Amino acid sequence: MGSLTSSPALLDAWFAVARSVEVSHASAHPVRLLERELVLWRGPDGAVVATADRCPHREAPLSAGTVEGGCLTCSYHGWTFAAGGRCVRVPSNPDSVPPPPRAHLAVHHCTERYGLVWVCLGDPADDVPCIAQEGDPSFRRINTPVEPWRTSATRMVDNFLDISHFPYVHTGTFGRAQDTLVAKIDIVELDGGWTGYRYDVLAGNEAGALASGQDGDVVERSMTTGFRLPFHVRSTIRYATGLEHVLLLLSTPVDDVTSLFTFVVWRNDDFAVSAEEVIRFDLAIGAEDKRMLELVPGLLPLDQTTLVSVQADRCSVEWRRRLVALLGGVTDGTSQALV
Ligand code: FES
Ligand SMILES: [Fe+2]
């Protein structure tokens, strides 16, 4: 299989690369996306600038430079770059001589949404995924760290769309109470452009009472899980009490076998439980997935014959079928036969 992260179609997708709070007004922030080194900094208007982490003069990493007043100054010969990546100063030249045209940095599409910095290296084919609860005053948003996982983004999405691993991987959090049998999955178009399925589960509650807002050994969850291409997943949880807990699970490919993971939570609770307590449970669940996925080598095969899939994998199979089409691969337009 060729490199996934060199696929041209991924250039036109948005990826979350950092928390907004990680990109300060006082320093440059290096990130790696699709095998490219990038640097982020805040320009004079506070907007994040994203560009290659390479000075056009002698290729020094710009992330080693300094930021002041929205201008990034390279640490090697002091060239200074301002809004939109414009080179505004070459100290070795008289100020009366404008910088050469090719000294300006080519900047990437960059936006901030949901407390995250999103970058698109090409021309955006779509918008950043829509979360209806953002801006709804009855919901609060909780962000979590952006952390590297030693696994492919494809394996992460496959995992996030899958509920049959709950009773095995998530025994330390909520999975022990779940029936191993998975009810028939019907793929539907959910709200907000998400494609996925609805299901009900019994979740172990011993470690999760703060997250569920209920006592008792088990709680009933009414859930949806869906995807947006290429690698965004949304899970919604509704409890009988009316409490809703929405998770945006984001997988950002650094290279074929390294990814960034972060998730964002929206909840319509009464804020009585601290954000730290709310996400402690979800972070523990994520750590269980990470531990499992880091044991599985390489990329997820995207063709429909290498892996054996069953009914419980229907959503992942549908996501892979659409991903292959997006990546320009051959697809016959039918789902893999499920055994
Ligand atoms: S390498 Fe950046 S100013 Fe020379
Ligand atoms: Fe999981």
Per-residue pLDDT tens over the stretch 241-265? 999 999 999 999 999 999 999 999 9
Residue to mutate (ligand 1; options 66, 76, 104; most atoms within 8 A of CB): 76
Residue 146 confidence (pLDDT): 98
Residue to mutate (ligand 1; options 53, 72, 79; most atoms within 8 A of CB): 79
C-alpha 53 to ligand 1 mean position (Å)? 12
Residue 11: CA atoms inside 13 Å, Cβ hemisphere, count? 8
**pLDDT band at residue 2 using 50, 70 and 90 as cut-offs:** low
Residue 182 confidence (pLDDT): 86
C-alpha 216 to ligand 2 mean position (Å)? 22
Q: Please state the three-class secondary structure of the chain as a single string.
A: CCCCCCCHHHHHCCEEEEEHHHCCCCCCEEEEECCEEEEEEECCCCCEEEEECCCCCCCCCHHHCEEECCEEECCCCCCEECHHHCEEECCCCCCCCCCCHHHCCCECEEEEECCEEEEECCCCCCCCCCCCCCCCCCCEEEECCCEEECCCHHHHHHHHCCCCCHHHHCCCCCHHHCCCCCCCCCCEECHHHCEEEEEEEEEECCCCHHHHCCCCCEEEEEEEEEEECCCEEEEEEECCCCCEEEEEEEEEEEECCEEEEEEEEEECCCCCCCHHHHHHHHHHHHHHHHHHHCCCCCCCCCCCCCCCCCHHHHHHHHHHHHHHHHCCCCCCCCCCCCC
Taking CB atoms within 8 Å and a gap of at least 24, the contacts of 134-138 are 134/266, 136/266, 136/268, 138/268
Of the candidates 55, 154, 137, 115, the one whose C-alpha atom is nearest the C-alpha of residue 262 is 115
Residue to mutate (ligand 1; options 77, 87, 102; most atoms within 8 A of CB): 77
C-alpha 175 to ligand 2 mean position (Å)? 9
Closest C-alpha residue for ligand 1 atom 1: 58
Closest C-alpha residue for ligand 1 atom 3: 77
78 CA closest ligand 1 atom index = 3
**Tens digit of each residue's pLDDT (9 = 90 or more) over 192-232:** 999 999 999 877 777 677 778 888 788 888 999 999 999 99
Neighbours of ion ligand 2 (CB under 5 A): 289
Q: What are phi and psi of 287, to 5 degrees?
A: -65, -35
Q: What does the mean pLDDT of the chain come to?
A: 92
Does residue 314 surpass a pLDDT of 90?
A: yes
C-alpha 104 to ligand 1 mean position (Å)? 12
Question: Measured between alpha carbons, how far is 28 from 105 in angstroms, rounded to an integer?
Answer: 15
> What predicted TM-score, i.e. pTM, was given to this entire model?
0.93
Question: Measured between alpha carbons, how far is 337 from 314 in angstroms, rounded to an integer?
Answer: 10
65 CA closest ligand 1 atom index = 2
Amino acid at 136: D
Question: Measured between alpha carbons, how far is 31 from 14 in angstroms, rounded to an integer?
Answer: 14
Pocket, ligand 1, Cβ cutoff 6 A? 55, 57-58, 60, 74, 76-79
79 CA closest ligand 1 atom index = 3
